[in-house]
Chain A
Amino acid sequence: MASPATKRRKLSYSDESDRSEGGYDNHDSDNLHSQGEDIERRDIEDTDDSMPDVEYTEEGGSYSIVNAENAATASPPNNEVESHTASAHAKADKTPYTRQSMSLRDGVYTSEVYKSNVFKLQVDELLQQVKPKYGKKKVPAENAMRILKSIIEQLPNRTPLSIPEARASLKSEGVVIPFPNPQPSKDAKYKLQYDRPSSINATGSYPLEIATQTEDSLSIDLVVTMPKAIFQEKDYLNYRYFYKRAYYLACIAAGIKTSKRGAFSISFGYLNGNHLQPIIVIRPSLHGDIDDFASSNFQIHILLAIPEKTFAESKLLPISNSIRPKGMEDGAETQSLSPTPFYNGSIQSDATVSAYLKLLHFTSSKSDAYKDACVLGRLWLKQRGFGSSVRKGGFGNFEWAATVALLLEPDPGTAAAVLSPGYSSYQLFKATLQFLATHNLSEYPYRLYAHDIIFPKGDNTPVFFDGPRKMNILFKMMQWSYSRLQAEAQTTIQMLSDSRFDQFESTFILKTDIVKYHYDSTLEMPLSKLQVDTNSDNYFPYLNETIGNIHKILIRALTDRVDIISFALADEDNWPISSNLPRENQRKTLLINFATNPITANRTVDLGPTAENKREAASFRQFWGEKAELRRFKDGSIRESIVWSTKNTSVLVLEQIISFILGKHLSLTFTENARFSSDTFAHLVPFGRIQGQSGIVPFVPLLNNLAGLEQDIRQLEHLPLQIRRISAADALLRYSAIEIPTSVCPNSTPASIVLQFEGSARWPDDLCAIQRTKIAFLLKLSDLLSAAKPSYVTRIGLENPSQPSQNQSYLDIITPQRFSFRLRIHHDREATLLDRQLKDKSLDGQSRESAASALAAYKRDFLQTPAHTQALQALCTRFPALSPSIRLTKRWFSCHLLSPHFSSEFIELLVARTFLQPYPWPVPSCATTGFLRTLAWIARWDWRHVPLVVDFSIGSNMNNTGLEPHSRALSTEDIEKIRMRFEAWRQIDPSMNRVVVFAATNLDNEGTTWTDRAKPEKVVAARMTALARAATDVIRSEEDNMLTRMKGKAIEPRNMGQFVSETLFISRVEDFDIIIHLPRKYSRARKISSEPQFKNLQLQQGTGELQTTLGFGPAQLFVAELRDIYGEAILWFWDSESFNIIVGLWNPQVTTARAWKVKASWNSLPTDIHRAEKKSKRTNLTDQMADMRVNKGAICNEIKRLGGELVERIEIN
């Protein structure tokens, strides 16, 4: 089957000569170019295929759909390319993989090549967007480069000098040589020398055109290659190379400084934070000269390189040693010395600059999509906070580009490359991530053309060894950064493999490394705590070593309690060329972030080795010191163990462990300078912190009670019909109620349950009669239950008096343990009868409308709510943090007085989405992350145009075959259908008067079950978004504060205050028009702490009294009547938990004056005589045409009359 192929606009240039100045954003020439080729190619194709071509032209480029017989949809790209190149021999193309083949591949819009059309189109657009607009900005930057180049070329050679001489000589020129630590000894025998560089080139992403605009400022790398002549064979040893390099760099700096041409501001910096490799950083001088390139936002880095093979490559392998201890003879045995991979890697990286530039150039000509793949990788890394610098993890743009290039090389061992040059940019990107995610490079080094090199085990640093260039391109990575990279790659791979949802945003757009969203706990401490001597010669290696040590210790101590530990430290600062190497500011802070495992994070007992296992036990004791105890356990084993206290609930087990173990091994003490923050919002709801292994513990007694009740009901004899099922249908029973259920809270609402009898033909075939029959059943059930178990208290209640065909009755049951339930009977015939009425054309309109709303209510109450409850029960057990996150999010809605406008189920869906599609992060593991990420998603959610789709089955390993059809996972078609339904609603109701937000699940494709009939209304939904945005802004500014602290800078005074999580939960009442204050007596105090009340006091309350107060909420009834009476004129908001205030907004249509009419449906006031008076014909009164508007005063008076003592005070704004 042939499929349409579409040509994507060529984004890069094939020819150097095309790169004329100003031509970078000249799309037209490019269009002509590619269109020309299209025509040429079509000629060829038309000869062998008669299908007409369709061509689409867009501003960005030309899309041509050609019928390509060789673009087989299903075959993997490699074959496709091969078959194509065979047929395309007619084309005079030098490279084997032609542009033509590219276009055909691009045209195959399958998930194989590009995930989905939408994904691909968005990627295309993104690639265009992030390309820097070279053009104008480029000219001054290139001028500056040209000037710099000619300055450096004209620098005179210097005679060789000894180290003290060199220092003095450059000092007189105002430059301090940036010798790396340890400083060279004064009596060194070798001399430092400056000779003309052998070449000066631009390198890095700039000439390759893979730079992106997202970086704060673009840097152009200018690499100066030092002549081989100034080095000796043994210079690679003991820092000699680096001293010579530093001198060379200082000479260039001095030269640029004294040069008359060009005004630059020059400083030294470290290349990628590597203290061995200082570089010159040139910034615009801001003088406005012609050389000034300030407008271009570029900075130029001058890098040093050495010609390849200056030193013997075999001596600089990661497994050799290059730093000899003092006093060691030259010829002595060096095998026993520990290798110095970082040092060697640093030299090799200088020696391979041009080799890598060549490699990347070659690769980009070999694989068309390579450059785009580099840009995608760059964005991915950037959004996750990775960078080439040591402190950012040591995996940045260069490492990505090199990895992709090397993976495209066939491995001689297996003769197959991991990647194929025929891959699309997305495939290259995804396959590289896949490689990173699945290969454990620290256990199994990846070697390319270098199988003879054996890497020592147990070193734990990752190795990706590039044989031809003899370098481990990951030499800057440490164990912690590598495991983080792996984790991120795994998450992304997992996310991209879900083809049903568009993951474009989470892959490239979202900023992922926001601590508050990504991690659950954070330890923030000043560098001074680490007690690394800043004056030490080896400050940087020591610091890195210390961090590595902390990582090792924490990993061992925390075991499976944490999934990821990541470190964040601000980059080193640049320093002026006239000053000494700077000491690092010790006020900078080190951030240690933990992503915890919710099940194990706060486990109280850690088991060690058994007592018989002497060696391990000793090591365990040594590690844990006095904390280790030998204990006998229930199963009879005697093991070393550690027990953590949970008495002081404010200090988490995690914090106890971290502070103990860091104190023991590194003598770090936690004082006020170090802050440990974890789950900072959890205290806002009772039991917000996960207790034990799951978040549902506080609900267990209620559920046990329900199980008991069900059993008791099922055991009843003489029930007229058999019971089919009893299902839970309440937020209390799906672990989602804010307040945890306590036995007997006088005016708590009972938990709803639904009872369904086995089918029977004895039911009447009439809706109203069914309702009466239900009452008869409830009476019977109540009788039998009281007879069988007198400890149950039951009574029958009535509801929905205005809708006789809806459910009329329920049975309230108080169990002996004094939990209360509300039981309704479900009879499935109701749906058929209602549906019949709905379709019956002989009924009048009003009747059919009421049948429609009854049917919706039936489906919601008897079908969807139980199904939703069951799904959430399962999810809450699967994700321990889900229940507290839902409850926290509900509290947020209710504190902002929004909860009456959102159904409880809808809020639950919002939070469930955060857990089921957590991307780009892993599943949240505490209430805070779950809550904050939900808010962030709400802030981003464009509910006007995007439906909420939740698939409860994601990630569960349920086998789909055995399930009922409605609980199956959503397929792509289902999602398509949901979207169509959503769009249909938007067409029917474009002003969104009925359906505002749309939320579908795999249980409910309708999408409007929880949100129909303007629940919420448009204005309320908009307020939700605005509030969520404000909240995320607060979180981001808090994050910025943390970053400022990390850099060791002072925080602006207005941001000084400690961040208080409560701030997100305070609502501004001033925004509303009417504020009704309720007296304390009738409002409920918000319970924050989870302290148990006195049980005996509760039990003293008689059942009779309980019966009168159970479920009694006068404030609730009051506000329901306010809604009924003033439905159209006032929009009411209240906090459905506390009921301390009820606030209202006037409908703007009623506050403005309008022409008077009889039936306004709101209390009105005639105003404004604006027409001539005349005597009425019928009355003897003066009649006028008048306007009317809402009578605010009378309405306030009415509210007071309605509420009586419920209204303490009314304010009007």
Chain B
Amino acid sequence: MPSEIRKEQNKIPESVSGFAIFPLSLPSFPSLPKTCADAKHYLYIKPHEPAHPTALDERSLFISNVPFDANEGNLRALFADQLGGSRVASVVFDSSVPAAPTLKRWRTDAGKKDGEQRGKKRKRDEEIVAEGVVEDETSSLPKIWPGELRRSGGCAVVVFVDRGSMKGAWKEVQKVIKERREVQWKGSEGLGVERYRKHHAMKYPPREALQASINAYLSQFNRAELARNRLRAKQRSVPDEDGFITVTRGGRSGPARLEQAEKKKAELEERKKKSGVKDDFYRFQTREKRKEAENELRKKFEADRKRVEEMRQRRGKIRPEV
């Protein structure tokens, strides 16, 4: 079997669709089946060229199929120690386990944010999210996981300190593939039981830390709430592209509150119902009602017949069990 795997590995192409295929040797474990002993991990690497270019692109590499235990530290070490010593500034991953907290955002807000605001630090409480606040170290809840993992087959963008480092790293990657040099993957430490034990301990943070974080959060929240109210006030007063004024909550002087409008509607309907002529007053009404009931029965029967027919098709013939 191992020889087969090796043969297969020899057949591995060097690049695909512009991605360099970069094999990593993995640590070996005696408890794994023999067929997995020589397994290699494959990264797909290419200079970063996103659909919406940013200033960082020219000093970034895009890596796909990152190992589940990749993090900024061990990727930095990989380039520094085994790939010509290029210096990595930061790494952005597309996924994490556990997943990053989702912030609720408004549609318009999200569109704007994508383009010009990235990288620019805005004043915290001016960035408005649909609920809560954008948390900082003081106001966020204590973390309960030691470090993050990646979903299998995820990607990462490695940002180098400058353009030159990135070029150097990219060259080195290609060289390694050409020369079939072996590169070791050194995953993160402290996985397994140790990680879970730490997690279990972190799940129960000290009460002082909790109290402090809540206090910080609530004061930030009050500020954010003000900002949100401002936004709503704006939405109330400015018509959108179709000329409609959005109904939002808050603001008594606004056109109407959603709940009130609904309540009124139900009220009107109720009144309408009451004032109408009784529906069994005229003879034609009873006749029609009867006809309707009859049709209803007939329709029901038809539906049931169809159901039984379907049942028969599904199960075949009805036969008492033996």
CA distance A214 to B318 in the complex (A): 12
Chain A residue with Cβ nearest B19: A1158
User: Do residues B214 and A772 form an inter-chain contact, with CB atoms below 8 A?
Assistant: yes
B265: which A residues are within 8 A, CB to CB? none
Q: Is B285 engaged at the interface, CB distance under 8 Å to the other chain?
A: no
Residue in B68, B101, B308 with the greatest tally of chain A CB atoms within 10 Å: B68
Q: Is B126 engaged at the interface, CB distance under 8 Å to the other chain?
A: no
Chain A residue with Cβ nearest B108: A842
CA distance A1112 to B196 in the complex (A): 9
User: Do residues B193 and A1183 form an inter-chain contact, with CB atoms below 8 A?
Assistant: no
A1183: which B residues are within 8 A, CB to CB? 13-18
User: Do residues A1191 and B217 form an inter-chain contact, with CB atoms below 8 A?
Assistant: no
Chain A residue with Cβ nearest B104: A847
Chain B residue with Cβ nearest A116: B304
A-B contact count (CB 8 A): 332
CA distance A194 to B9 in the complex (A): 97
Q: Is A1180 engaged at the interface, CB distance under 8 Å to the other chain?
A: yes
B16: which A residues are within 8 A, CB to CB? 1156, 1166, 1183-1186
Q: Is A336 engaged at the interface, CB distance under 8 Å to the other chain?
A: no
Q: Is B35 engaged at the interface, CB distance under 8 Å to the other chain?
A: yes
B31: which A residues are within 8 A, CB to CB? 1200, 1207-1210
CA distance A1176 to B178 in the complex (A): 13
Q: Is B268 engaged at the interface, CB distance under 8 Å to the other chain?
A: no
B65 to chain A, nearest CB (A): 6
Given A116-B304, A782-B207 in contact, is the A1182-B13 Cβ separation under 8 Å? yes
User: Do residues B151 and A1124 form an inter-chain contact, with CB atoms below 8 A?
Assistant: yes
B300: which A residues are within 8 A, CB to CB? 117
CA distance A1180 to B177 in the complex (A): 10
- Point out the residue from B100, B196, B317 that lies within 8 Å of A1117, measured CB to CB: B196
CA distance A129 to B316 in the complex (A): 11
The proximity string for A residues 1156-1172 relative to B, scoring 1 for CB distances below 8 Å and 0 otherwise, is 10111111111111000
User: Do residues B153 and A1166 form an inter-chain contact, with CB atoms below 8 A?
Assistant: no
The proximity string for B residues 90-119 relative to A, scoring 1 for CB distances below 8 Å and 0 otherwise, is 000000011111111111101000000000
CA distance A562 to B276 in the complex (A): 63
Interface stretch, picked from B52-60, B77-85, B140-148, B157-165, is B140-148
CA distance A847 to B197 in the complex (A): 33
Q: A776-B214, A844-B105, A1164-B42 are in contact. List 11 more A-B contacts (CB 8 A).
A: A122-B308, A122-B318, A767-B132, A798-B144, A798-B205, A803-B101, A842-B107, A843-B107, A847-B105, A1125-B68, A1200-B31
User: Do residues A802 and B105 form an inter-chain contact, with CB atoms below 8 A?
Assistant: no
A767 to chain B, nearest CB (A): 5
Chain B residue with Cβ nearest A1157: B17
Nearest 4 pairs of A and B residues by beta carbon: A1204-B192, A1193-B39, A768-B132, A117-B304
Chain B 175-233 interface residues, beta-carbon cutoff 8 Å to A = 177-178, 187, 191-194, 196-197, 199-201, 203-205, 207, 210-211, 214, 217-218, 221, 225
Given A772-B218, A942-B314 in contact, is the A2-B131 Cβ separation under 8 Å? no
Q: Is A1198 engaged at the interface, CB distance under 8 Å to the other chain?
A: yes
User: Do residues B193 and A851 form an inter-chain contact, with CB atoms below 8 A?
Assistant: no
Q: Is A281 engaged at the interface, CB distance under 8 Å to the other chain?
A: no
A481 to chain B, nearest CB (A): 21
User: Do residues A798 and B192 form an inter-chain contact, with CB atoms below 8 A?
Assistant: no
The proximity string for A residues 1122-1162 relative to B, scoring 1 for CB distances below 8 Å and 0 otherwise, is 00111101000000000000000000000000001011111
Chain B residue with Cβ nearest A504: B318
Given A118-B307, A1124-B97 in contact, is the A125-B318 Cβ separation under 8 Å? yes
Interface stretch, picked from A398-406, A505-513, A1058-1066, A1093-1101, is A505-513
CA distance A875 to B211 in the complex (A): 42
How many chain A residues have a CB neighbour from B under 8 Å? 120
A sample of 22 inter-chain contacts (CB < 8 A) reads A118-B307, A214-B322, A509-B318, A797-B204, A798-B203, A803-B102, A942-B315, A945-B311, A1111-B200, A1114-B193, A1125-B97, A1125-B151, A1125-B152, A1159-B153, A1160-B65, A1161-B154, A1179-B20, A1181-B174, A1185-B17, A1200-B31, A1205-B193, A1206-B193
User: Do residues A1158 and B107 form an inter-chain contact, with CB atoms below 8 A?
Assistant: no
The proximity string for A residues 772-783 relative to B, scoring 1 for CB distances below 8 Å and 0 otherwise, is 100110010010
Q: Is A796 engaged at the interface, CB distance under 8 Å to the other chain?
A: yes
User: Do residues B102 and A4 form an inter-chain contact, with CB atoms below 8 A?
Assistant: no
Q: Is A126 engaged at the interface, CB distance under 8 Å to the other chain?
A: yes
CA distance A118 to B304 in the complex (A): 6
Given A766-B131, A768-B132, A1158-B155 in contact, is the A1179-B15 Cβ separation under 8 Å? yes
Chain B residue with Cβ nearest A847: B104
Q: Is A1196 engaged at the interface, CB distance under 8 Å to the other chain?
A: yes
Q: Is B48 engaged at the interface, CB distance under 8 Å to the other chain?
A: no
A1163: which B residues are within 8 A, CB to CB? 41, 65, 67-68, 152-153
User: Do residues A1 and B178 form an inter-chain contact, with CB atoms below 8 A?
Assistant: no
B32: which A residues are within 8 A, CB to CB? 1196-1197, 1200, 1210
CA distance A1161 to B66 in the complex (A): 10
- Point out the residue from A804, A1118, A1186 that lies within 8 Å of B101, measured CB to CB: A804
User: Do residues B187 and A1201 form an inter-chain contact, with CB atoms below 8 A?
Assistant: yes
Chain B residue with Cβ nearest A1201: B187
Residue in B98, B106, B174, B320 with the greatest tally of chain A CB atoms within 10 Å: B320
The proximity string for B residues 23-46 relative to A, scoring 1 for CB distances below 8 Å and 0 otherwise, is 000110101110111111110100
| Residues of B bordering A, CB below 8 Å | 5, 8, 11-21, 26-27, 29, 31-33, 35-42, 44, 64-65, 67-69, 97-108, 110, 130-133, 141-145, 149-155, 174, 177-178, 187, 191-194, 196-197, 199-201, 203-205, 207, 210-211, 214, 217-218, 221, 225, 235, 246, 290, 293-294, 297-298, 300-301, 304-305, 307-308, 310-312, 314-315, 317-322
CA distance A1200 to B29 in the complex (A): 8
Chain B residue with Cβ nearest A1207: B31
User: Do residues A130 and B102 form an inter-chain contact, with CB atoms below 8 A?
Assistant: no
User: Do residues A805 and B131 form an inter-chain contact, with CB atoms below 8 A?
Assistant: yes
User: Do residues A2 and B290 form an inter-chain contact, with CB atoms below 8 A?
Assistant: yes
Chain A residue with Cβ nearest B309: A121
B277 to chain A, nearest CB (A): 21
CA distance A379 to B217 in the complex (A): 72
A1206 to chain B, nearest CB (A): 6
Chain B residue with Cβ nearest A1130: B152
User: Do residues B104 and A850 form an inter-chain contact, with CB atoms below 8 A?
Assistant: yes
Given A1181-B20, A1182-B14, A1203-B192 in contact, is the A844-B149 Cβ separation under 8 Å? no
A1184: which B residues are within 8 A, CB to CB? 13-16
User: Do residues A2 and B27 form an inter-chain contact, with CB atoms below 8 A?
Assistant: no
CA distance A4 to B297 in the complex (A): 7
CA distance A851 to B102 in the complex (A): 10
Chain A residue with Cβ nearest B317: A129
B294: which A residues are within 8 A, CB to CB? 1-4, 67
Chain B residue with Cβ nearest A1126: B152
B51 to chain A, nearest CB (A): 13
Given A118-B307, A1208-B31 in contact, is the A1121-B149 Cβ separation under 8 Å? yes
User: Do residues B101 and A1198 form an inter-chain contact, with CB atoms below 8 A?
Assistant: no
Chain B residue with Cβ nearest A1163: B152
Q: Is A382 engaged at the interface, CB distance under 8 Å to the other chain?
A: yes
Chain A 785-811 interface residues, beta-carbon cutoff 8 Å to B = 795-799, 801-805, 808
CA distance A779 to B145 in the complex (A): 22
Chain A residue with Cβ nearest B8: A1167
Chain B residue with Cβ nearest A108: B297
B192 to chain A, nearest CB (A): 2
A803: which B residues are within 8 A, CB to CB? 101-102
B108: which A residues are within 8 A, CB to CB? 842
Q: Is A764 engaged at the interface, CB distance under 8 Å to the other chain?
A: yes
User: Do residues B39 and A508 form an inter-chain contact, with CB atoms below 8 A?
Assistant: no
B174: which A residues are within 8 A, CB to CB? 1179-1181
- Point out the residue from B101, B152, B322 that lies within 8 Å of A1195, measured CB to CB: B152
Chain A 22-41 interface residues, beta-carbon cutoff 8 Å to B = none
CA distance A62 to B193 in the complex (A): 73
- Point out the residue from B15, B154, B192, B235 that lies within 8 Å of A1182, measured CB to CB: B15
CA distance A202 to B39 in the complex (A): 81
- Point out the residue from B11, B33, B99, B301 that lies within 8 Å of A802, measured CB to CB: B99
